[in-house]
């Protein structure tokens, strides 16, 4: 049985959408994906979505009676998990066609869930007492160790933001499109040393949806799921095994590449969840595209920029395009667009695209290998 | 007011320790290895033959960020370091660094540190200062 993505779409707009609630963003994305797939709610018998408000409410609001539900909520990588789980469910005969939705009023906080965990949680006992203010002050804490052990420079870290802005420049939907220099990045406001404002992701509103089914049920040229992997490491970043490499990135990548039976030379396009500038550096190394300590120079030399040999984060990424809080859906959407030849900053001849998602602070990870034809 | 942790049954011995001026961590008897955070089974072997020991309080600076947008209760200290230290016993924990200016020039990775305790309401939290004392 061949599993495909048969429909994919984002909300009409992403960015600042104070007139949209979380539920509206889910539903708008779902309707757009159904239209993209030439399907209706009557074709859908499986639903997967995360967190607020969850699969029951989204299915009910859309008028779908699901035979299979998945509410896996492991942070921003959740939608990659949903694709993997949906593929397994369809293969097992639990359902036929799955709708995966994401909507998040990350910036405007309309109909959004509450932030925060109790003082008796793991985070509340062992990290929050030290003045952590969300991801900008905790996801970032691995970077100085990585820099000491590999020699990555502040300028190379800044180059990640510079490279992604080169892609965003060609994407009219990107929130930030003006070209920037290393000097611009290093002179932007310090958020959490060594991270400047331009090395931290945006906070936006938006949504996206996907339809996963079999090749036979697809009604438009499908995107094939060649392989996938999922993994987890530690719920709190202080307990990550080694601050210079993500175990979740490595394990999920190995599983996905193994299932897809591809090598790195087969990959034409790569999306790596970029909540902060160091994450694509870990992604390039942990997926095995470059050796240990080589990613900073690889990016600085332009290999991931337009015209480079490994186009990376071609929508502009979380640093320049959009980041609702759970960015993984948007990384998948850009891979689908590139494979269909429909991207704003289209790369020529993309046949195989890899998506790496992160959840929490290197807590969960998933990798998808997607292609526009079977090998 | 800085955030204070609220102990749970499996972490209570840790917080009893900090209140007594001791840094207590767990150790698996069969594995002869320490681990942190507190939990009822060894993350290496899965066994429950685990006990509490008093750590030496000596540590080195593993990594950190210097936060410029203070959390509630930290307004007077910003910018301040949020650090992860590695205890002599091999486990790591998040903390703050005191007794030294929180600047990149003064916070060198792998510098030697020692534990001190700060009272927060009903509990004491472990912080770390340079091994030679405040400077
Ligand atoms: Zn053990």
Distance between CA atoms of residues A137 and A118, nearest Å: 18
Cβ contacts (< 8 Å) between B66 and chain A: which residues?
190, 192-193
Q: What is the dihedral of CA A198, A201, A202, A208, to 10 degrees?
A: 150
Q: What is the pLDDT of residues A15-40, one digit of tens each?
A: 999 999 999 999 999 999 999 999 99
A210, β-bridge pairs: A8, A100
What Rg, from alpha-carbon coordinates, does chain B have? 15
- String of DSSP letters for A128-172: GGGT--SGGGTGGGGHHHHHHHH---HHHHHHHHHHHHHHHTT-T
Distance, CA B33 to ligand 1 centroid (Å)? 7
ipTM of the complex: 0.97
Asked if residue A74 and residue A145 are part of one domain, the reply reads no
Per 3-state DSSP, chain A is made up of helix, strand and coil in percentages (nearest 5) of: 40, 20, 40
The residues with which A355 forms a beta bridge, in sequence order, are A271, A368
At residue A257, the pLDDT reads: 98
Domain membership of residue A195 (yes or no) is: yes
Nearest CB among A129, A136, A194 relative to B2 is that of A129
Taking residues A175-199, what's their average pLDDT? 98
Among A192, A225, A258, the domain-final residue is: A225
What integer best gives the mean pLDDT of chain A? 97
Q: In Å, how far is B20's CA from the nearest CA of chain A?
A: 18
Supply the pLDDT for residue A52.
79
CB–CB contact B3 A128 (8 Å)? yes
pLDDT at B134: 67
Shortest Cα distance, chain B CAs vs residue A214, angstroms = 40
Tell me phi and psi for residue A106, to 5 degrees: -65, -35
How large is the average pLDDT for residues A230-242?
Answer: 98
pLDDT digit string, tens, across residues B119-135: 999 999 999 999 987 66
For residue A187, being part of any structural domain is answered with yes
Residue A116 scores a pLDDT above 80: no
Lookup: tokens for B132: 């030679």
Q: Is A117 part of any domain? A: no
pLDDT at residue A236, as a whole number: 97
Question: What proportion of chain A, given as a percentage, has pLDDT over 90?
Answer: 98
* pLDDT confidence band for A174 (50 / 70 / 90): very high
Q: What is the pLDDT of residues A242-274, one digit of tens each?
A: 999 999 999 999 999 999 999 999 999 999 999
Contact A127 B94 (CB under 8 A): yes
Q: Using alpha carbons only, how large is chain A's radius of gyration in Å?
A: 19
Q: Which residues of chain B have pLDDT under 70?
A: 134-135
User: Do A134 and A101 share a structural domain?
Assistant: no
Residues A171 and A135 in one domain: yes
Are residues A89 and A140 both part of a single domain? Answer: no
Q: What's the CA-to-centroid distance between A117 and ligand 1, angstroms?
A: 30
Per DSSP, which regions of chain B are E strands? 24-28, 33-35, 50-54, 58-67, 80-87, 92-95, 112-120, 123-130
Stretch 248-307 of chain A: residues touching chain B, C-beta under 8 Å: none
Q: Are residues A178 and A50 in the same domain?
A: no
List, in order, residues 6 or more apart from B75 with CB less than 8 Å away.
none
Judging contacts by C-beta atoms under 8 Å, the chain A residues touching residue B125 are 129-130
Greatest CA separation found in chain B?
Answer: 46
Is residue A108 domain-resident?
A: yes
DSSP alpha helices (H): ranges in chain A? 22-37, 55-62, 78-91, 122-126, 143-150, 154-168, 182-187, 247-260, 278-286, 295-300, 317-320, 328-340
Please provide the DSSP assignment of A104-122 as one string.
EETTT-SSPPPP---TTSH
For A85-101, what is each residue's pLDDT tens digit? 999 999 999 999 999 99
Residue tagged 């209706």 (tokens)? A40
- Which residues on chain A are in Cβ contact (under 8 Å) with B59? none
Contact check, Cβ <8 Å, A148/B6: no
**B62–A145 CB contact, under 8 Å:** yes
Looking at the structure, tell me whether residues A182 and A154 fall in a common domain. yes
Task: Using the 3D structure, point to which of A225, A258, A284 is the last residue of a domain.
Answer: A225
Do β-strands A269-272 and A352-359 pair in parallel, antiparallel, or remain unpaired?
parallel
Stretch A186-201: mean pLDDT, rounded?
Answer: 98
Shared-domain flag, residues A344 and A361: yes
Total domains, chain A: 2
Q: Answer yes or no: do A84 and A150 share one domain.
A: no
The answer to the question of residue A18 being in a domain is yes
So what's the pLDDT on residue B133? 78
A359 and A273 within one domain? yes
Look up the domain containing A48 and give its range: 3-112+205-225
Q: Which residues of B fall below an 8 Å CB-CB distance to A?
A: 2-8, 11, 36-37, 62-71, 73-74, 77, 79-80, 82-84, 92-96, 104, 109, 120, 125
The reply to whether A120 falls in a domain is no
Residue A128 confidence (pLDDT) above 70: yes
Residue A121 has pLDDT above 80, yes or no: yes
Whether A115 shows a pLDDT value over 70: the answer reads no
For residues A177 and A248, state if they share a domain.
Answer: yes
> What is the pLDDT, as a whole number, of residue A369?
98
CB contact under 8 A, B109 and A133: no
The pLDDT, as a whole number, for residue B135 is 61
Categorize the per-residue pLDDT at A112 as very low, low, confident or very high, splitting at 50, 70 and 90.
confident
Please give the Cα distance from A32 to B11 (Å, whole number). 48
Residues A338 and A263 in one domain: yes
CATH of the domain at A220: 3.40.47.10
The DSSP secondary structure of A310-344, one letter per residue, reads S-B-TT-HHHHT---S-THHHHHHHHHHHHHT--T
H helices present in B26-79, as ranges: none
């Amino acid at each position: 049985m061949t599993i495909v993505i048969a429909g994919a779409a984002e909300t009409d707009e992403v960015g600042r959408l104070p007139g949209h609630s979380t539920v509206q963003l889910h539903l708008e994305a779902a309707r757009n994906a159904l239209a993209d797939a030439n399907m209706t709610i009557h074709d859908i018998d499986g639903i997967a979505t995360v967190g607020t408000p969850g699969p029951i409410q989204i299915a009910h609001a859309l008028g779908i009676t699901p035979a299979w539900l998945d509410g896996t909520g492991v942070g921003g990588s959740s939608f990659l998990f949903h694709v993997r789980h949906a593929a397994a469910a369809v293969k097992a005969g639990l359902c036929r066609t799955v709708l995966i939705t994401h909507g998040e009023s990350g910036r405007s906080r309309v109909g959004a869930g509450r932030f925060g965990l109790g003082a008796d949680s793991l985070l509340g006992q062992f990290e929050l007492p030290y003045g952590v203010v969300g991801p900008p002050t905790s996801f970032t804490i691995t970077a100085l160790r990585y820099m000491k052990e590999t020699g990555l420079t502040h300028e190379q870290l800044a180059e990640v933001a510079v490279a992604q802005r080169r892609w965003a420049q060609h994407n009219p939907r990107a929130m930030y499109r003006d070209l920037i220099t290393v000097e611009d990045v290093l002179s932007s406001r310090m958020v959490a040393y060594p991270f400047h404002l331009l090395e931290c992701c945006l906070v936006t509103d938006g949504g996206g949806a996907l339809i996963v089914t079999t090749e036979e049920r697809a009604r438009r040229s499908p995107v094939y799921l060649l392989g996938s992997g999922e993994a987890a490491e530690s719920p709190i970043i202080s307990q990550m095994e080694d601050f210079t490499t993500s175990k979740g990135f490595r394990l999920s990548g190995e599983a996905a590449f193994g299932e897809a039976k591809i090598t790195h030379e087969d990959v034409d396009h790569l999306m790596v969840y970029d909540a902060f500038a160091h994450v694509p550096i870990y992604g390039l190394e942990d997926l095995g595209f470059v050796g240990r300590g080589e990613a900073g120079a690889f990016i600085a030399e332009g290999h991931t920029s337009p015209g480079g040999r490994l186009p990376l984060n071609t929508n502009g990424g979380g640093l320049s395009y959009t980041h609702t809080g759970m960015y993984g859906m948007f990384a998948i959407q850009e891979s689908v667009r590139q494979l269909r030849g429909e991207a704003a900053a289209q790369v020529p001849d993309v046949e195989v695209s890899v998506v790496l998602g992160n959840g929490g602070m290197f807590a969960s990870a998933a990798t998808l290998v997607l292609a526009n034809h079977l090998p | 007011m800085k955030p204070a942790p609220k102990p749970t049954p499996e972490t209570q011995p840790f917080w009893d320790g900090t209140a007594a001026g001791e840094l207590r961590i767990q150790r698996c008897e069969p594995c002869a290895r320490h681990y942190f955070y507190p939990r009822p089974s060894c993350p290496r072997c899965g066994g429950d033959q685990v006990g509490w020991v008093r750590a030496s309080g000596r540590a080195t600076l593993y990594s950190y960020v210097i936060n410029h947008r203070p959390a509630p209760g930290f307004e007077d200290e910003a910018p301040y370091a949020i650090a992860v230290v590695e205890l002599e016993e091999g486990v790591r924990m998040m903390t703050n660094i005191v007794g030294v200016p929180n600047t990149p020039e003064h916070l060198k990775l792998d510098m030697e540190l020692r534990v001190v305790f700060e009272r927060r309401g009903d509990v004491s939290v472990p912080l770390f200062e340079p091994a030679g004392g405040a400077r």
